[in-house]
Amino acid sequence: MGPCTARLHLRNLLFAATLPLTIAAIGQTTPQHTPQNGPRADIFTPATIKRADALLKQMTTDEKLGQLNQLFVFDPSASIDDFVRKGQVGSLLFVTDPASINRFQHLAVDNSRLHIPLIFGFDVIHGFRTIFPIPLAMASSWDPETVERAQTIAAAEARSVGIDWAFAPMLDIARDPRWGRIMEGAGEDPYLGAAIARAQVRGFQGPAIGTPDHLLACMKHFAGYGAAEGGRDYDASYISDAQLHNVYLPPFHAAVEAGVGSVMSAYMDLNDIPATGNHWLQTEVLRDDWGFQGFVVSDANAVKSLENHGFAKDPADAALRAFNAGVNMEMAIDKTAYSTLPDAYKQGRITLKQIDAAVKPILEAKIQLGLFENPYVDLPHSQQVLNDPAHRVEALRAAEHSAVLRRNENNLLPLAKSTYKSIAVIGPLANGKHDTIGSWAFQEDPNEAVTVLEGLHAKLDATTKIDYAPGVQIKRFFPSFFDEIFHEPKRIDWTPEQAKAEFDKAVDLARSSDLTILTLGETQDMSGEAASRSSLALPGEQEKLLETIASLNKPVVLVLLNGRPLDITWASEHIPAILEAWYPGTQGGTAIANLLTGDAVPGGKLPLSWPRNVGQIPINYTHNLTQDASKQGERYWNEPSTPLYPFGYGLSYSAFSFSNLKVTEPENKVGQPVHVSVDVENTGSIPADEVAQLYIHQQYGSASRPVRELKGFRRITLAPHAKTTVDFTLTPADLSYWNAGSRSWVQDASTFDLWAGDSSAATLHTTFNRAR
């Protein structure tokens, strides 16, 4: 599981996250309500609410408190049957076998007085049986519809085996690629992150909670987990109020507006207050300001960890602090801290009203999901869903959609299928099933996964001789505790003599081949939870292998499989073609083969700024201007202080031009929308996708604002020489920001710069003015 939120107690330290939007002149602080922060539709129907109220009246206090406990079950034969029979647990997780789910469900329904079913949760992150590209890759598609389709399939597959609740999406903004869990999110930008958040919630839950073949979504980790100090997983986050409101909270707010049914709290300290004990965050912001109506579950053992933080005295104190902060359900690997709540109630330390408020949304979720009527798995239906070939087709499309072409000197790509008679496929990741799938996939069928080598064989065997050599071995310094869960085959390490022989074999193979496809990056256990790094260098001797093969002066294509930016500065200057495939999922090898040969055209864009090396971190594009703006890119004397590749960057096999950037209302008033249009033309000779991106900069106002902020995007497909007009609307919310001086949301009267283009480095520019 992944860490979750912190407890922000002092309102004067971490300020009102989403107070009603303020339409303010410079210095004005009087809040005014606007529609986007008004009441939103109930996520539970009146019938569900009425039924939950009636059920609550029939429940004893012990029955209510039992619903607040969730236990891991790694072994379905584990002796937790008595807990289930006695109603001392409301949810189980990591049970994925339909027969085991039915057995536990019968224990709960047949033995409990009120026949209350369990809700089964699981980490459905980027697929269940069919594995899609990792979330960071899906964000690289810049296509919310693709994201929604993928999570719809993931939901259908998981629900078919009895999983009712997905511990996703992860909405943590991450600006430090050393942090291992950057692979689970949408990158560095709150606007893109919010769009992807809405798409994931829609995909998991459908139009409403309870939609057939869908499940309950859980946004995590609320909030600030992605800002861990030094990129070290689980370490504290220290975030200013302006950053919290303008950067880290927007994707979560977007998910709430989309109707997400549950929230997972985070592990780490947030400004010295552990997130799982944070009343301000979980109650004042989430429930009071945002109107969230679902329930909060802790991350794994996060309640007990309040004692580890030095925040709680003991498990009983930890339970009280989390419960009073707003954690409805405790996720625990063994006995829960919430098992002490019955004593706390008897001692008068918590009230029946609090208990009812905690358990009610859990009951509402179970009711609306239909668990009372249909608690058991339909096995024939499950097999039909899991074996649906359309799911693999969509996984292939998503992998093709998510790849980012970094470099393509002299149009080396796409490869002409008949040009190269012999191809060397080299690299430690070229034929690894799990390394293609990526981390945070637990129920995949590895036999379905297509590796890079397999994809190329299937594509080119009729015309080309393909040989493979790994060249080097790579592994973590500290092993991952997930290795057992992923069932990684035990690897036999090479001796120094074997390592030299394998390295030389790979170089000789490249020397004797017409073309080399180098597949480098990180093994799947090098990204994800507990997978932070102090370096972004290619692990092991991959850089040596890369540079040695490049020195042969043969054509080389670099394919990257990874879950974070890596230091490829040397490659960016010496390797003619670079394709970022991320961890592309079940159909990854087929997608990569299609992309390399031109049967698919790359159209993905980077969801983060790609640093030259680890010393540049953080290097997000939304930095502020400084006292000498002309020297903005010269903050280091030894190298440019600009990214290797900017946010939003990605090449195509075609070419596009942007023109005719127009603002319908170049002179407008604060509080009004602004309509913008730009023409996009495919000036190349093949049909291809482009992502039109819109950026703003507020030139002056009541606070310094970032040099650029994404405020609109759209992925479009254009035939050769076709042109289209893309329209954007900047809403009042898009032109608002949290002001640390007034401690409120404001809109300033100002002049705004506007850019449109294919990345955050777009040059097509105009301005508009906003007055009172």
Coil vs helix vs strand at 54: helix
d(CA 219, CA 260): 7
Instruction: Establish how many alpha carbons lie within 13 A of residue 505's alpha carbon, considering only the half-sphere containing its beta carbon.
Output: 15
Task: List, in sequence order, the alpha helices (H) in 537-640.
Answer: 542-550, 569-574, 588-597
657 contacts 681 by C-beta, under 8 angstroms: yes
Does residue 299 carry a catalytic annotation?
Answer: yes
Single out the catalytic residue among 172, 299, 525, 758: 299
Supply 582's token pair.
Answer: 């991320």
Q: How many CB atoms lie within 10 A of CB 721?
A: 10
Query: What phi and psi values does residue 279 have, to the nearest 5 degrees?
Result: -65, -40
DSSP code string of 188-234: S-HHHHHHHHHHHHHHHHTTSTT-TT--B-EEEEETTGGGBGGG-TT
Residue 631 Cα distances to 109, 265, 627, angstroms: 68, 41, 9
d(CA 624, CA 658): 26
Instruction: Establish how many alpha carbons lie within 13 A of residue 686's alpha carbon, considering only the half-sphere containing its beta carbon.
Output: 12
DSSP letter assigned to residue 34: -
d(CA 57, CA 65): 14
DSSP letter assigned to residue 407: E
Tell the residue number behind the tokens 């990257």, with chain if given: 560
d(CA 370, CA 373): 6
Instruction: Establish how many alpha carbons lie within 13 A of residue 757's alpha carbon, considering only the half-sphere containing its beta carbon.
Output: 18
Question: Helices 496-512 & 542-550, crossing angle to 10 degrees?
Answer: 30
Collect all residues with Cβ–Cβ distance below 8 Å to 187 and sequence separation of at least 6: 136, 139, 173, 174, 193, 606, 607, 608, 647
Question: Helices 144-160 & 190-205, crossing angle to 10 degrees?
Answer: 40
Report the catalytic residues.
Answer: 299
